[in-house]
Each structure stands twice: as C-alpha cells, then as structure tokens.
Structure 1
Amino acid sequence: MSKTISAGDLGIQLKKGDESALFKWFIASFLMGKRIQRDIAAEAYRVIVEKRSRDTARKLSGCSHRELVVMLGEAHYVRYDETTAERLRHLGKKLVNEYAGKIGNIQSASEDRKDFEKRLGEFEGVGPKTIEIFMRDAAAVLY
C-alpha cells in the first residue's frame, strides 16, 4: 500500500558529484519526511524546485517566509506550511553558510556515513525519517 517515492520518480537522476540533483533530492526528502501525504509532498517539491526554480540552496534561502508559504499552499501542503516554510529557509541558509551550498561538502566534512547522517540531522526539521528517505537513494552516489 505505502509505495515510496524515489528520486527517479521525481525526475531526479542522482549521479556522483551532481550537486544539483543531490540538493533537489534533499528538498524532496525533507518535504516527504513530514506527516503529510506523499503525493502532496511530491507536488510541493515540484512547485518549489521545478515551477518556481528554487533549485539551489542560495535561491531557496533567498525566499521570504511568505513566498514559501504561498508555494506550499499552491501544492496543498498546508498542514505544516508555516513551520515548513521557516525550516526550508533555515535549511537553505545553513547549507550556504556552513557548506557553501553543497551536499558534497557535508560529505567531505564527515568522517563516515554515520557522521554525514548526524550532520544532516543538525538541519532544523530534518529528523530520522527525512535522513532515511534521502539516504535510500543518495547513499549509492555518496558512499
């Protein structure tokens, strides 16, 4: 019954060193990691990343809280829209400020996969479920 959505299902082709694809999958995983229907989370990803082109950490962090709430609303991702909007902005800013906007830099700074996952968990709103979803597809190109 509970079919998972993969990176490929969203048209994200993960490859070693492809920062753009890793970032997109991280955002999709973040959205799907919440208690919300997977189809709504997938639509929120499409609205934010594809339709509104917030496809880098810098572009995402440059959004206002209100802009993100509107984008989430457009996708009917309304249950947690206020906190999710805030956390997405923080995610973008932290990625830019601490890792120059690159998931690969989190990996470079990490001793191993466990440390990498711990660092992902330091992003506000990123919990075990988001990490599990992200690593399900990203581990193959990161490790």
Structure 2
Amino acid sequence: MDTVVKRLLREAGQTYAEETGIPLKDQPAALFKLLVLANLLSARISSDIAMAAAKELFEAGGGTARGMSKLTWQERVDALGRGHYVRYDESTSSRLGDMAEQVQDKYGGDLRRLPVEAERDVKHASKLLQEFPGIGPTGVDIFCREAQAMWPWLRPYIDGQAVKGAERLGLPTDTKKLASEVPDKDLARFAAALVRVARDKKLADSVKS
C-alpha cells in the first residue's frame, strides 16, 4: 500500500457514519440512520453540523423509520435546531417525516429489502434511493459510499468527490485503479477519507507532507 494511502487512512480514515456513532452493520436501524445522515449531508451545510443534527434526531427517538415518523414535525425541527441545523430546519423536518413514512410503506421499515428490490444493481439502487424525499445524486453518493462497508455488491463505490480528493493527493483518478489501492474491506473508509481531503486543503497538505 502506498505511503500516502496509509497516512490518509491513519489521519482521516473514519466514515461519516462512524463519526456520527452509526454502526456500519447490515441492520434496519443502522441503515435508516445512514439514510438520514445522507439526507442531512446533502444540504449546503457543514458536515459537522449535519452530523450533530443527526445525533440529536437519533437521541430524540428518530433512529428508526417508525421512530422518526412518530416524532412530531416540531420535535424534528427542535432536534435539528439543537444540532444548529437551522437554515433548512423546517423543510428538512418535513422531508425526514415523509422519508420515514416511505421507508415503512415500501420496505416495511427495513432497508435491507432495497438490495433485493434493486437486484443488487448499483444503477437501479440509485434510482430507488432517489425516490426518497431529499435524496438526490449527492445523497445517493453519500449513502452508497458508506453502505459499501455492509453491502459488498456496491463495491467499489468511488464518487466524484472522492476522485477530487485523490487528484489533490496525486493518487490515480481512474476509479478502478484508485479502488485497487486498498483492500475491499477498507473501501468505505478510504472513500470517506478522500472526500475529507477534497474538502480540506490543510488535511491534504498534512497527508502529503
């Protein structure tokens, strides 16, 4: 493994889910929490605020589809406010409620059914994920980039943001070559680290030095 890659994983190799306290496990609650996080991270807002807001929602009882839909609109707004996610709090509260209802209606509250529905095809999964309110192409990238830790059929999932990080570090920008830099089990951590580098020049300089 390249020295830069080793240093990158050491300094920044934590997924956004892990930093938010979401276990990367193929379980209904963990997958729903990851979907919530992808929704929050999709907005033009700092990742720290999005992760803080996610934690507040989970602590308020919104860590499952059923729990999220049981929260009132105002309870979701209040949780988002405690996480300082105030710019988009009202519209986001509505989207999260609608998303939770949809997860329950279509998947029985269990996103492990999504790979079955998608026949483990990445493009099909992308279309299904974009049926959720608040999840567009950016949200799909965030979700799949981290879900590849539990769903091997998504691998390698290296999105445009990760490629930008690779470019900044002088690593290959061809996604297959880039993915081959680490073992499959480390791909989610590697992709998250590359995204962090894409967003943080100081971190990139630290990894390169």
Q: Do both proteins adopt the same fold according to a TM-score greater than 0.5, normalized to the shorter chain? A: yes
Unpaired segments ≥5 residues, structure 1: none
Match of 2:191 in 1: none
SS of 2:125's partner is helix
Partner of 1:36: 45
Give the structure 1 partner of residue 85 of structure 2. Answer: 77
Matching residue within 13, 17, 41 for 1:7: 17
Offset of 1:5 from its aligned partner? 5.3
The residue number in structure 2 matching 1:47 is 56
Shift in CA distance, 126/137, structure 1 to aligned 2, threshold 3 Å: same
Counterpart of 1:116 (choices 117, 125, 129) is: 125
> C-alpha separation between the residues in 1 aligned to 2:15 and 2:84?
18
CA distance in 1, matches of 2:88, 2:57: 15
Q: Bigger radius of gyration, 1 or 2?
A: 2
- 1: CA distance between counterparts of 2:28 and 2:104? 13
What is the TM-score of this pair, normalised by structure 2? 0.63
Please tell me the residue identity of whatever aligns with 2:132.
F
Q: Which runs of 4+ in 1 moved over 3 A?
A: none
Is the 8 Å Cα contact of residues 56 and 83 (structure 2) preserved in structure 1? yes
5+ residue gaps, structure 2, are 1-11, 154-209
Partner of residue 185, structure 2: none
* Structure showing greater relative contact order (alpha-carbon pairs closer than 8 Å, 6 or more residues apart): 1
| Residue-by-residue CA offset, 1:8-52 (whole Å, 9 max, x unaligned) | 22222213x322211111111111111111111010011001x21
Aligned to 1:133: 142
Partner of 1:93: 101
**Aligned counterparts of 1:10 and 1:47: Cα–Cα separation in 2:** 10
Q: Partner letter of residue 127 of structure 2?
A: K
Task: Using the aligned pairs only, state the percent identity.
Answer: 37
Residue 27 of structure 1 pairs with residue 36 of structure 2: yes
Contact 1:5 1:38 in 2 (8 A): no
How far residue 136 of structure 1 moved from its aligned partner, in angstroms, is 0.8
In 1, the alpha carbon distance for the partners of 2:95 and 2:45 equals 16
Query: Match of 1:31, as an amino acid?
Result: L
One-letter identity of the residue aligned with 2:102: K
- RMSD (Å), alpha carbons: 1.5
